[in-house]
Structure 1
Amino acid sequence: MKTDKLFYRIFLNQPSLISELIPEIPEGCQFDYNAPVVKEKEFRLDGLLTPLGGDENVPLVFLEAQMQNDIEFYSRYFGGIFVYIHQYKVKRNWRGLLILNNRNQELGCEIPYQNLLNNQVQRLFLSDLLGKENLSPNLAILKLIVTPENQAVSEAQKILENTQTQEEFNLRLDLVEAILVNKFPKLTIEEIQKMINLREADITQTRFYQQVLEIGRTEGRTEGRTEGRTEGTQWGEANMVIRQLNRRCGNISDTLQAKVRSLSIPQLESLGEALLDFQDIGDLENWLINHTSD
């Protein structure tokens, strides 16, 4: 599944997760998230969390999620960090945060980086969360990503039941639905909502549901050139990108939202990567001009 954008979304919606995973970061600390390209070697850092505010004791956080084997992962990860530190003349401390699938992943030789891995970088192996109960809501959301399909629905329901406010519920529902869409790509949004089977919750008030409903009405007025399952995948991808754009550039207009929703899945994936470098609405408009045709 497209884990990069999924983890980006989780950390935007649940900012307290950072301080929970790296205890030395103060609770409630806010970060700006981007994915800078390091010049010369053309390393791309998946996520750089830059503290907002004047406290120089709060470190930069180099965040990366890796779910598959990659024997060059560690060399590329640390290479990108140090090229970035050199290029941007970084003068503050930094920490690494790696979200990994399991302890048996082939990620390359650890020996050259052992001291950094032991002292500078926090590694979270999602498989370690399986079988654990009474996890915090943040960790329960991460656990859902690797939960077996036959247990995913019950775990999702537990996450949603353990909420105190409607706003908190809406945020968790949005993430839970996004994870289940990736876990069950052959199911439509409606089928996933039936799986969750929330009797007390008014899911029609969530942003995710309302966006899907609006897109469904629009699609209903166009020619049905693809099957519902393919449309559901495109809808979910478009919703995720729009949500990221709203956080990155401010609320985008209905006209721009419509243009984003008209993109193909490969175009949406490309936009999802590019938007991490956007500074304002103008960057989005330029991207659409350069990557779409009349």
Structure 2
Amino acid sequence: MKTDSIFYQLFQQFPGIFFELIGQPPSTGDAYEFKSVEVKQTAFRIDGVFLPAEDLPDQPIYFVEVQFQRDTRFYQRFFGETFLYLSQYEQSNDWRGVVLFKTRSQDPGVKPQYRELLTSPRIRRIYLNELGEAAEQSLGVGVVKLIVETRKKAIDTARQLLNKAGQEIADATLRKQIIELIETIVLYKLPKMTRQELEAMFGFSELKQTRIYQEAVEEGEMKAKLESVPRLLAMGLTVEQVAHGLGLTEEQVRQAFSSEQTSD
């Protein structure tokens, strides 16, 4: 999964985390929807925009860009897309721009053409590897920081975030969503991690709630069903009876039997 996809999932599920990043109460996110928007005449999409509810004209629109590669033309593109959107959608809301850089070295720096914008409160530049104390105090900001942690530190950081989630989030559904998001980030950073390693890191009770564990359980159940097919057929049951009893298709039953015969 690409980094920008993780951020899209993060801000879409937990918009309050974005507002924590820019120093506002997480509850501000309740009034916003994070989405991608199309600039029709030029046929391109702006991937990250926080749009306030229609009945909140005093709340600004936030244009959000995640930039993990150095691009000397980044600000030309960012401001170009922003002003094209503003010219096409005649909303009365004010606007703000927020750029999330992995490190300060990826920021191409203040360009003379955009100096007034970049040095004004209208634009916020955040360097994720410099979040520091904010990432330690806030679960949401800590999850964002996990995305840019080194692989060496990622496991310890993820474990700390899991403990924090267990202590701070009473709502079971919300806690499950946060755990799955942490799992997604860990798998993105450590794609070769085994299920046993994940279980050791997450703890069995937490791991049971996650997508990867549930998929593994389903995979194990399917394997057990398929392994039982030859024995049931040998007992005289028909393909149709076995399929109905195990919740399989008849084709799956035939394939399982054929594989057993081949291996013999």
TM bucket (normalised to shorter chain) is: 0.7 to 0.9
Alignment of 1:183-202 (within 5 A): 183-188=189-194, 190-198=195-203, 201-202=205-206
RMSD across aligned positions (CA): 2.9
Give the distance between the partners of 1:44 and 1:128, measured in 2 at CA.
29
Q: Choose the corresponding residue for 2:209, options 180, 205, 228.
A: 205
Quickly say closer, same or farther: Cα 1:202–1:106, change in 2 above 3 A: closer
| C-alpha contact 1:129 1:143 (8 A) present in aligned 2 | yes
Name the counterpart of 1:172.
178
- Contact 2:162–2:202 (8 Å) recurs in 1: no
Please name the residue that 1:140 is paired with: 142
Q: Cα distance 1:120–1:195, how it changes in 2: closer, same or farther (>3 A)? A: farther
1:219 Cα deviation from its structure 2 partner: 9.1
* Larger RCO, structure (CA 8 Å, separation 6 or more): 1
Secondary structure (helix, strand or coil) at the match of 2:156 reads helix
Q: Unmatched 5+ residue regions in structure 1? A: 223-294
Pairwise CA distance, 1:28: 4.6
How far is 1:212 from its partner?
5.6
Output aligned runs, 1:90-105, within 5 Å. Answer: 90-105=91-106
What's the CA shift for 1:43? 4.0
Q: Which moved more, 1:123-132 or 1:78-87?
A: 123-132
Q: 1:38 to 1:220 in 2, by over 3 A?
A: farther
Q: How does 1:64-103 map to 2 (within 5 A)?
A: 64-103=65-104
The Cα shift of 1:107 comes to 3.4
Segments of structure 2 that go 5 or more residues without pairing to the other structure are 227-264
1:133-191 deviation digits (Å, cap 9, x = unpaired): 63311110011111111111111111111133233431221111111111012334x15
The change in CA–CA distance for 1:10 and 1:41 in structure 2 (over 3 A counts) is: same
Other structure's SS at 1:124 match: strand
Partner of residue 35, structure 2: 34
Give the greater-gyration-radius structure (CA).
2
Is 1:47–1:64's contact at 8 Å kept on the other side of the alignment?
Answer: yes
* Residue 55 (structure 1) aligned with residue 56 (structure 2): yes
Conserved 8 A contact 1:177-1:192: no
- In structure 1, the residue matched to 2:21 is 21
Offset of 1:98 from its aligned partner? 1.3
The sequence identity of aligned pairs, in percent, is 31
- Matching of residues 180-259 of structure 1 within 5 Å: 180-188=186-194, 190-198=195-203, 201-207=205-211, 209-211=213-215, 213-214=217-218
Partner Cα separation in structure 1 for residue 104 and residue 143 of structure 2: 20
Provide, for residues 244-286 of structure 1, a one-character-per-residue CA deviation record: whole Å limited to 9, x for no partner. xxxxxxxxxxxxxxxxxxxxxxxxxxxxxxxxxxxxxxxxxxx
The 1:168/1:214 distance shift into structure 2, 3 A limit, reads: same
TM-score, normalised to structure 2, is 0.72
Listed one character per residue, the Cα deviations across residues 28-70 of structure 1 (whole Å, up to 9, x for unaligned) are: 5332222123234444312111112512111111111111111
| Aligned mates of 2:141, 2:50 — CA distance in 1 | 19
Q: Residues 49 and 220 from structure 1, CA distance in 2 versus in 1: closer, same or farther, beyond 3 angstroms? A: farther
Structure 2 contact 12–35 (Cα < 8 Å) conserved: no
Please give the alpha-carbon distance, in whole angstroms, between the structure 2 residues aligned to 1:181 and 1:80. 32
Matches within 5 A, 1:113-132: 113-118=114-119, 119-129=121-131
TM-score, length of structure 1 as denominator length: 0.65
Aligned residues: 220
**What is the one-letter code of the residue matched to 1:92?**
N
Cα offsets for 1:106-151 (capped at 9, x unmatched): 5365322222223212221111025876331111001111111111
Distance in 2, Cα, partners of 1:215 & 1:110 = 54
